A and B are shown apart, each in its own frame.
Chain A
């Protein structure tokens, strides 16, 4: 257990170091995230995930694509123990379980599809401070993190703004800031470019490219996949049906078509 904790700390340090120097992520061979034989059914018996196995190494940026209802969002909710299926989920070497949810949730920053779900506080400051406050950081550090996280997403000075007065693009960025403030090693994003106009979309892709964290991005935006994510996993009807380098997957038009996708 001690070794695993070390590993987790190491992960956080790597992310932080990269964050400071702004260096691009080197491909490292330590698994940041492992799903082993993950199976999940909703209480009504509907099976959403079938025996999903997926290993993501530190620094990798991975696309999770598939048709609507394939189980992408459900899979993301397993990464930090919001949903619990059969099988094993390991984050930074630690098996996600009831005893360590707090730590795991500090490591995996989950950004929800609808920013109105993610931004639940009246002001931007309160929302970005929510995670750090629940990590028991002192107030000075919380302030520092809020300022830092907002500057990371290019939203400096938005602290006192009201969430319901923001544009969709601003909300999306601030939703990312709310998890960045927790300094996670892994970012799990659900449809980050959904509902965005082309300019905001472009800005968001640039932002995601600059972030050093290991990333798992569930999306329908195949151009985002092509531009940003080196590896692509196709999920269909709750099963991993393809997993490989993005260029190779995107070349296989028949494979994409079979699973309700198209080339960018």
Chain B
């Protein structure tokens, strides 16, 4: 067994969310992310609406909320790229920082812009996290295929899922082989940085070659079983009533909130 746990973020369960068809979950998650991305900055009530919706789905899924929350934090480092907005969006100054001869001022508009990006990124990742926690990777791949995601993309994901463990195992073996020959003697043990970098480079190259050779053997195995370049898979079973209900609920909820906001003439 490999000690590397990379992909299986699926949480076994039998909740309504788990039982939903993977195609529906994929579409709903993507729709949620698209809607969040389209929301203007500072539209807090809409963010809250999305949070309530995702939170409701998490509650229904019976996945531990803390687990989903912790995993969703992966979004945070990426939003640091937007940190510059605090200073660059023009508007009324909140705080001025003086560093040497430089003066940086944080504007309230900048704070709104940055917080919006932070919240939107986090909400998007939250819905993706929930999708992955309640849908097995193999089902997701089948759903992508059924939804006509281009064959090359689906196959790439599928092979990656299948072979990441195999390649990780190979990497681990290479690593162990190196460790086994890395004896320590004296203060200069381990060699210079350049030398170690060269060893590592060699390992990466060797891993690439092995993977490349494997890909040829896999392709030969596919040809042997009649592969002719066409993508074929079993049809997925038709959607059930629960699946349609979930999609209807999603649309109704968002429409209801949108109408309420419109009736109030804004928020």
Binding site for B on A (CB under 8 A): 77, 80, 82, 102, 105-106, 108-110, 112, 114, 116-123, 126, 129-131, 133-135, 139, 142, 162-164, 178-179, 182
Contact of B226 among A105, A120, A142 (CB under 8 A): A105
Complex CA distance for A121 and B235, rounded to whole angstroms: 16
Knowing A114-B217, A122-B138 are in contact, say whether A131-B161 is a contact too (CB < 8 A): no
6 closest Cβ contacts across the A-B interface?
A134-B226, A131-B225, A117-B217, A133-B232, A110-B224, A164-B165
Complex CA distance for A80 and B234, rounded to whole angstroms: 26
Are the C-beta atoms of B234 and A133 separated by less than 8 Å? yes
Complex CA distance for A261 and B214, rounded to whole angstroms: 28
Complex CA distance for A105 and B228, rounded to whole angstroms: 11
B160 nearest in chain A by CB position: A122
Are the C-beta atoms of B233 and A133 separated by less than 8 Å? yes
Within 8 A of A (CB), among B124-177: 137-138, 141, 158-159, 161-163, 165-166
Contact of A131 among B162, B163, B226, B228 (CB under 8 A): B226
Contact of B220 among A112, A122, A135 (CB under 8 A): A112
Apart from A116-B163, A164-B165: 11 A-B pairs, beta carbons within 8 A:
A82-B224, A112-B220, A112-B221, A117-B214, A117-B217, A119-B162, A120-B218, A121-B162, A129-B234, A134-B228, A139-B235
Are the C-beta atoms of A77 and B161 separated by less than 8 Å? no
Complex CA distance for A134 and B158, rounded to whole angstroms: 18
A105 nearest in chain B by CB position: B226
Residues of B within 8 A of A163 (CB): 162
Complex CA distance for A248 and B214, rounded to whole angstroms: 38
User: A-side binding surface: helix, strand, loop or mixed?
Assistant: helix
Complex CA distance for A118 and B166, rounded to whole angstroms: 13
Are the C-beta atoms of B166 and A116 separated by less than 8 Å? yes
**In the assembled complex, B223 has its CB within 8 A of some CB on chain A:** yes
Complex CA distance for A135 and B224, rounded to whole angstroms: 12
Are the C-beta atoms of B218 and A142 separated by less than 8 Å? no
Are the C-beta atoms of B217 and A182 separated by less than 8 Å? no
Are the C-beta atoms of B162 and A164 separated by less than 8 Å? yes
Complex CA distance for A119 and B222, rounded to whole angstroms: 9
Residues of A within 8 A of B221 (CB): 110, 112, 117-118, 120
Residues of B within 8 A of A118 (CB): 221
A163 nearest in chain B by CB position: B162
Residues of A within 8 A of B235 (CB): 139
User: B-side binding surface: helix, strand, loop or mixed?
Assistant: helix
Residues of B within 8 A of A134 (CB): 225-228, 230, 232
A110 nearest in chain B by CB position: B224
Within 8 A of A (CB), among B197-231: 214, 217-218, 220-228, 230
Complex CA distance for A4 and B162, rounded to whole angstroms: 40
Residues of A within 8 A of B214 (CB): 116-117
Are the C-beta atoms of A122 and B161 separated by less than 8 Å? yes
Complex CA distance for A110 and B222, rounded to whole angstroms: 10
Are the C-beta atoms of A139 and B226 separated by less than 8 Å? no
A102 nearest in chain B by CB position: B226
A112 nearest in chain B by CB position: B221
Measured between C-beta atoms, what is the minimum distance from B183 to chain A in Å? 30
Measured between C-beta atoms, what is the minimum distance from A177 to chain B in Å? 12
Q: List 26 A-B contacts (CB under 8 A).
A: A77-B220, A102-B228, A105-B225, A110-B221, A112-B220, A112-B224, A114-B217, A116-B166, A117-B217, A119-B162, A120-B218, A120-B221, A121-B158, A122-B138, A122-B158, A123-B138, A126-B233, A130-B222, A133-B232, A134-B225, A134-B230, A134-B232, A139-B235, A163-B162, A164-B166, A179-B225
Residues of A within 8 A of B220 (CB): 77, 82, 112, 117
A125 nearest in chain B by CB position: B234
Residues of B within 8 A of A130 (CB): 222, 225, 227
Complex CA distance for A182 and B226, rounded to whole angstroms: 10
Knowing A114-B217, A162-B138 are in contact, say whether A135-B162 is a contact too (CB < 8 A): no
Complex CA distance for A106 and B139, rounded to whole angstroms: 28
